[in-house]
Structure 1
Amino acid sequence: MLNIFVVGIGAAFGGMTRYLLTLYLKKKWQSDFPWPTFLINLSGSFLLGLLLSSELASFLVLLLGTGFMGGYTTFSTFKVENIELYRRKEYGKIAAYLLFSYGFGLLTAYLGILLGGVL
């Protein structure tokens, strides 16, 4: 039961962080391209790779990895934004968003793993 509480607390703070960061990025950087979600998901991939390759206590992995990073990153928003780009017939942006999100997501996760193994 404690593990569920720890994950929930982490997810709540991760979701709040994502929301605040999204508001800030949208205010500073207005674009038709979904940059806030893209940047949040890339930073989340990197940080999760870093966390999971570090020798952290299982409590911290649950709190920060499963909880915070699970609440911080957003696969569902990513999908809805792709559908929205499709509805607007912005096929080039869809292709770029998918390619860069998956490609750079894997790259940033790998970089996080590499850095975490060194720390």
Structure 2
Amino acid sequence: MTVLLIALGAALGAPLRYLTDRAVQARHDSRFPWGTLTVNVAGSLLLGAVVGAPVGPAVTALVGTGFCGALTTWSTFGYETVRLARTDARRQAVANALASVVAGLGAASLGFALARALTG
């Protein structure tokens, strides 16, 4: 049953990642990967909330592992950062790495804190 919940969450998260990435990136005339940054920060916020809330293992599998796992993308973040560095956009590569790590950790912490505060 857990594997099915993870697969269902992933089936929802992966297309949402793609559509969100394309929609955000289309609004920016820049090589900077705004779409990937957006989905990674949003996924970190949601995962922090799931971990901070008193939810059962089924919700954790569906939303945390499945949905957030498919919504966020470490591999694309890595690829885009290396691509920026190799195309003489080193400052953007460093900015992407720093923004992704700082904003991702901040979002996860905020999600966790909000969930704890709301569920008391």
Instruction: Answer yes or no: is 1:50 the counterpart of 2:49.
Output: yes
Alpha-carbon offset, residue 30 of structure 1:
2.8
TM-score, length-normalised on structure 1?
Answer: 0.94
Q: After the TM superposition, which segments of 4 or more aligned residues of structure 1 sit over 4 Å from their partners?
A: none
The answer to whether residue 114 in structure 2 is matched with residue 112 in structure 1 is no
Instruction: Give unpaired runs (5+ residues) of structure 1.
Output: none
Query: TM-score with structure 2 length normalisation?
Result: 0.94
Identity %: 36
Aligned to 1:26: 25
Aligned to 1:80: 79
Deviations 1:24-68 (A, max 9, x none): 112222321000001110111111001110011211110000000
Output the aligned Cα RMSD.
0.9
Counterpart of 2:34 in structure 1 is 35
Corresponding residue number in structure 1 for 2:13: 14
Measured after TM superposition, the shift of residue 87 of structure 1 is 1.4
Deviation at 1:12, TM superposition (A): 1.3
Matching residue's letter, 2:109: Y
**Counterpart in 1 of 2:101?**
102
Report the residue type matching 1:105 in the other structure: G
**Inter-partner Cα distance in structure 2 for 1:18 and 1:30:** 20
Q: Does the residue aligned with 2:30 lie in a helix, a strand or coil? A: coil
